Structure 1
Amino acid sequence: MKTQPIPPSFLKQFRNLIHNGKNFAVIAHFRPDGDALGATIAMGGALHFLGKQVTMLNEDAVPSNLKFMEGSESIIRTVDYADRPDAIIVLDNGDIKRIGIPGMALIRDNVPAPVSVNIDHHETNNRYADLNCIIPEECSTCAILYHLFLALEIPLSPAMRDALYIGISTDTGSFQYERTTPEVMEIAADLLRQGVNVHDINRKLYQEIPWKKLMLNREVLNGIHLNAAGRVASFSLTRDCKNRLGVTEDDTDGLIDILRSIEGVLLAIFLEEMDNGKIRISLRSKTPAVSVSEIASRFGGGGHAMAAGIRMSCPIEEARAKVLPVLEEAVSLIS
């Protein structure tokens, strides 16, 4: 199998770091998805195997559809470190601010900050750590960790194995997106050979939709707007709507895929009014002619060329009025 090499300089420094350290914090971005959680669980398992003390931290709760992941119950939302961590390992996170308030407090309360590690595949990553391993060509952070553990000769426990598979599967859209390469499929095949129950995992990931989320899907279908001659699809989800349906922020993941799947649509935008009053904006592109990560960066967001996000502090219609015209302009330039 052709492997994506881990940079030798990073590998050497990371090996020395985990060899000499005893106490580690592992953090991914807030609103964790399958890749963020999978990477957190897998890295935590690797450090436990090496006999280290590990705290797995995330500002937000594990989404309900991912609570079946073994090890997710050990991810905590707040931490009061009695012992200063030797290193903070940040995963699947392009900007340090996206580790959330507990993570930022952990760094702030340990001055000078412990050595930090940044392992990620987002092309907009700004290399904020002392040690950075950024491979934008990889489909997911879990794929990078697969190669890292292979290089370090760290065996995969069943929980680590499943976590890596879930991260790769979800970040490739169940092996549908552009970065689903032969190498990615070979990683998945190796994980299956090691015991991944693909039927059971796929059933839990993709075939068990709660009734209230199905009702939310209906709301989206009834409220989609098509712009730019049907090449841009948009939907705005208000808190009033969520309260009426009894759904939470956990239930909204993946709704943008409904917009993205419409025939003729090239760009999709999903706006959600969150409980804290901020607006979460998800962007998707179906054409290499438009990078939504570049568009998101104009508004302080980031991500990948085909999938990116923004957060804004303004009314939802104001956020829509700011971003939607940029998408319309982008598709107008496509011949």
Structure 2
Amino acid sequence: MVENQALYKKIKNILDDAQNVLLLPHQNPDPDALGSALAMYEFLKKSGKNVKVFCKTGVPSRLHFLPNHTEVVSDPCIWKETPFDTIILFDSGDLFYAGVAEYIEELTSRPTIINIDHHASNKKFGDVNLLDISASSTAEVVYYFFHVNRFEINANMATNLIAGVIADTDNFTNAATNYFSLFVTGDLIKHGGKYKLVKEHLYRDKSVDILKLWGEILGRLQHHTTFDIVYTYISQDDMNRYDVTHEEISGFSNFMNNIQQGCATVFFKEKEDGSIRASLRTTLDHIDVSAIAKHFGGGGHKKACGFEIEGPIETAFERFFQELERQQIPWKSPVGE
């Protein structure tokens, strides 16, 4: 946090001069991206700015409890209706991941782009890049921005930021949990943030059908002994049979961290277009699954990341392990190094 104080002040100065601001969580937003954007929305609105929030895919129903979620628009006409002088992206490694590269390319006037993130794989595409890879979440970075500049945090802002921290620490159970994430959450609760509300919506949201589907996925678990990786998959047919959406099975990748065997896990998910999303997780300090993700064109954190691979789902993991066998990817370090 300390080393970024000059950037916090620089962004404050940019926003002081800004008139029309566009906030961008990435497409298919998670609580961290959306919560960070909505907290900033409330702050800028109170500051008298003309501020909009755009998300290409809209807000998932499971996040409709977040304050100000109704302010998010998905109509691309917004890009032509207002001459935005400042654009802020949250939790996005690049403009393509955010789902806005095409819109920014078509702008007739170039706005100032502020990039706020906590992923080491971020491509630093902004005019100003506020990156803190030691932070648990982008929400924690946004909290520091408010805190350092002594901006008041109200209850709505606090609730949105708590959602980001809780989601990215998996309710304070994964490796992103540390003194700072706990301190930040405590201070946000002090400012009126509704921790219990967030926890109820993010962690007590599973229907009987979803848990039955989880049972099928767990029944497919396999342990690749050569690489010591535990993996499983879900097909689009599975989704259709149980009439559930991809957002409703979110959390399964993190749940796989509870498996005792294996040094890492991979969850393969078939998308509607037939492509496969692979989510990698580990709890071990000497394992860097992001090195695997980067090799396949993805990214993320050392212990939690993802990438996409071509279908079909039935052979995706076979091709994944074949590629691991062919390439010397430095994803394991000697224990204790």
The partner residue of 1:53 within 30, 50, 53 is: 50
CA-CA distance at 1:271 after TM superposition:
1.0
Q: How big is the shift at 1:323?
A: 2.4
Give the RMSD, CA atoms, in angstroms: 2.1
TM-score when normalising by structure 1: 0.91
Measure how far apart 1:6 and its partner are.
5.8
Give CA deviations for 1:207-249 in whole Å, capped at 9, x if unaligned.
2312332122112122212221793211121111111111112
Q: Cα offset for 1:99? A: 0.9
Return the alpha-carbon distance in structure 2 between the equivalents of residues 79 and 331 of structure 1: 40
2:287 is aligned with 1:269: no
Unaligned runs of at least 5 residues, structure 2: none
- Note the 1:168-317 alignment, pairs <5 A: 168-228=165-225, 231-317=228-314
Runs of 4+ residues deviating >4 angstroms: 325-335
Q: Which residue of 2 aligns with 1:324?
A: 321
Q: Determine if the alignment matches structure 1 residue 136 to structure 2 residue 136.
A: no
Distance 1:334 1:259, change over 3 A: farther
SS of 2:81's equivalent?
coil
How many residues of Structure 1 are paired with residues of Structure 2 in the alignment? 330
Distance 2:196 2:119 in 1: 29
Structure 1 portions without partners, runs of 5+ = none
Residue pair 1:232, 1:327 contacting (<8 A) in 2 also: no
8 Å contact 1:140–1:171 — kept in the other structure? yes
- Describe the shift of the 1:113–1:277 C-alpha distance in structure 2 as closer, same or farther (beyond 3 A): farther
Specify whether residues 154 and 208 from structure 1 end up closer, same or farther in structure 2 by C-alpha distance, changes over 3 A only: same
Kindly provide the CA deviation profile for residues 274-325 of structure 1, in whole angstroms up to 9, marking residues without a partner as x. Answer: 1133211111112122211111000110000000011234422443223235
Amino acid at match of 2:182: M
**1:26 aligns to 2:23 (yes or no):** yes
SS of 1:297's equivalent? helix
Q: Does 1:82 align with 2:84?
A: no
Shift, 1:41, TM fit? 0.8
Would the alpha carbon gap of residues 219 and 106 (structure 1) be closer, same or farther in structure 2, given more than 3 Å must change? same
Letter in 1 for 2:143: Y
> Alpha-carbon deviation of 1:270?
0.8
Cα distance in 2 for residues equivalent to 1:323 and 1:185: 37
TM-score scaled by length of structure 2: 0.91
Q: Aligned partner of 2:97: which letter?
A: R
Change (3 A) 1:64 1:224: farther
Q: Provide the residue aligned with 2:158 in structure 1.
A: 161
Amino acid of the residue matched to residue 150 of structure 2? E
Partner of 1:94 in structure 2?
93
CA contact 2:115–2:128 (8 Å) conserved in 1: yes
Identity of aligned residues (%): 28
Offset of residue 252 of structure 1: 2.1
1:110 counterpart residue number: 107
Letter aligned with residue 142 of structure 1 = A
